[in-house]
Structure 1
Amino acid sequence: MTSTLPAGLRDFYEDPAVPVASGDARSLRQARMLADALGPAGATPAVVLDIGCGDGSAARAAAPLLAGHRVIGVDWSQDALRRAQSHMSYVVRGELTDGGLPLAAGSADAVLFSEVIEHLVDPDSALDELRRILRPGGHLMLSTPNLAAWYNRALLLAGVQPVFSEVSLRGIHGRPGKEVVGHLRLYTARALREFLTASGFEVVRVAGAPFHGVPKPLRPFDRLACARPSAASILLVHARRT
């Protein structure tokens, strides 16, 4: 899911080789936060929009925790939506521009916004659009890589490009890793909190999640870092529309 993409970026995100899934550990933690916020499904289930649903793997992992609620996948990429249909009952094509989502104002009780904001050219307009489709008091569950992850702090001190950051869509330069995923922006916990507040959301909670790409010997440290969200690999934010 992208907003107002130049042609080169559009081609990049429609390439089937570009990853459109992330780790289940992050998806499960985020789903638990949303399930706690929504509570059990009643006579009228909550409408949950998975904006930038990718291949639907996050919705698949969350499904047992969101039983009874209506989860709808939304993505710009046709290729991603084709794959998502095997995991989700409802998918819709839409773009995160002003009024670009084919959804009425105030029609959603909650939005899952997983690993999307770091790919956006215009995150300000994207948050405006999310605020438009959420009902007052509706929940935003956002996740994004942490620029200030514990290992990135050490890498920067050594003069190495931080993990998650990319300087090219054609290859990785100056940092560990081999996979190009199209990250355009990165956030710290403080920056993300301030950005959401300025965009008309009340931040309820910031939590941390591990990153599936951390080398196996370092994964225990990565899980421990989740206790301090500002140093965790992945930032999980629960915010509400004001």
Structure 2
Amino acid sequence: MTRTTTGTDTGTGTGTGPDAGTGRRPAQLRDLYEDPATPVASGPDRSRRQAAILARALGTEPQTVLDVGCGDGSAAATAAETLSRHRMVGVDWSQDALRRASSHLTAVRGELTDPGLPFASGVADAVLFSEVIEHLVDPDAALDELRRVLRPGGHLLLSTPNLAAWYNRGLILAGVQPVFSEVSLRGIHGRPGSQVVGHLRLYTARALRSLLPASGFEVVRITGAPYHDVPRPLRPLDRLACHAPSLASILLVHARRR
């Protein structure tokens, strides 16, 4: 899973979490995202998939792409192979992530809540938003901010784990906590897996088809991507599920700003 650390990504941004208005951040959540041991990348395959979708949407004229929640910049570096015609700028909240990302691309600190991203309205032609939304306390405010920095007709490439992934449907029927969901920041309880990554919300394709239009975006297409941590014997099934995005492990959403 991608660990992203942009401002609001996990309620650690000002104005969104339980400490909003007090000037305090939830220390445990902040420390989770500043910990170099917390995973920050989902592997090159998914980055290439997203970059290919975006490259087709942007065409050949140079465009400005913001990678919001860039993490350590490795995903942006992979995407840049396909998006070489375009200018990519990374944004993250975590100082540790920014330090590592700076070796791959221009990276700046920014938050999705007050005071917002450090860009003028309408400056971006596209936004990459890779596995950030599941970390947000206030996804509505975050989507509002992404819409602000995008030009009219600008592209949003969003990816997020799928609550309704094919194996999660079976796990829930069996009374098992679904993969990707977390009930604690201190350990794994009731679900497969071994790493805490700070997911606060999970989405289905159906939910995103409703949420994004409500936030001023038109959904162009939803496709699926496999999950790198699926046990090896089950990976052929996971790849097959990508043909039915509502069953896929990861949802890749291409939307446009209205």
State the TM bucket, normalised to the shorter chain: over 0.9
Determine if the alignment matches structure 1 residue 190 to structure 2 residue 206: yes
Determine if the alignment matches structure 1 residue 37 to structure 2 residue 54: no
Partners in 1 of 2:104 and 2:174 — Cα distance?
A: 42
1:102-122 CA-partner distances (Å, limit 9, x unpaired): 100000000000010000111
Determine if the alignment matches structure 1 residue 28 to structure 2 residue 48: yes
Task: Give me the TM-score of the superposition, normalised by structure 2.
Answer: 0.90
The letter of the residue matching 1:54 is G
What is the root-mean-square deviation of aligned Cα atoms in Å?
1.0
Residue of structure 2 aligned with 1:202, choices 189, 209, 218: 218
Deviation at 1:99, TM superposition (A): 4.6
Determine if the alignment matches structure 1 residue 152 to structure 2 residue 168: yes
> The residue matched to 1:65 in structure 2 has which SS?
coil
Contact map agreement 1:26 1:234 (CA 8 A) in 2: no
The letter of the residue matching 1:106 is G
Q: Summarize the alignment of residues 6-155 of structure 1 with structure 2, pairs less than 5 Å apart.
A: 6-8=25-27, 9-40=29-60, 42=61, 45-88=62-105, 90-155=106-171
The letter of the residue matching 2:80 is A
Determine if the alignment matches structure 1 residue 224 to structure 2 residue 243: no
Contact map agreement 2:7 2:110 (CA 8 A) in 1: no
Contact map agreement 2:7 2:93 (CA 8 A) in 1: yes
1:25-81 CA-partner distances (Å, limit 9, x unpaired): 2111111100010012x3xx2000000000111111111110110000000001011
Partners in 1 of 2:7 and 2:177 — Cα distance?
A: 24
Partners in 1 of 2:183 and 2:104 — Cα distance?
A: 33
> The residue matched to 2:240 in structure 1 has which SS?
helix
> The residue matched to 1:153 in structure 2 has which SS?
helix
Contact map agreement 2:188 2:196 (CA 8 A) in 1: yes
Unaligned runs of 5+ in 1: none
Partners in 1 of 2:118 and 2:158 — Cα distance?
A: 21
Deviation at 1:98, TM superposition (A): 4.4
Percent of aligned positions with the same letter in both sequences?
A: 76
The letter of the residue matching 1:211 is Y
- The residue number in structure 1 matching 2:192 is 176
Contact map agreement 2:157 2:254 (CA 8 A) in 1: yes
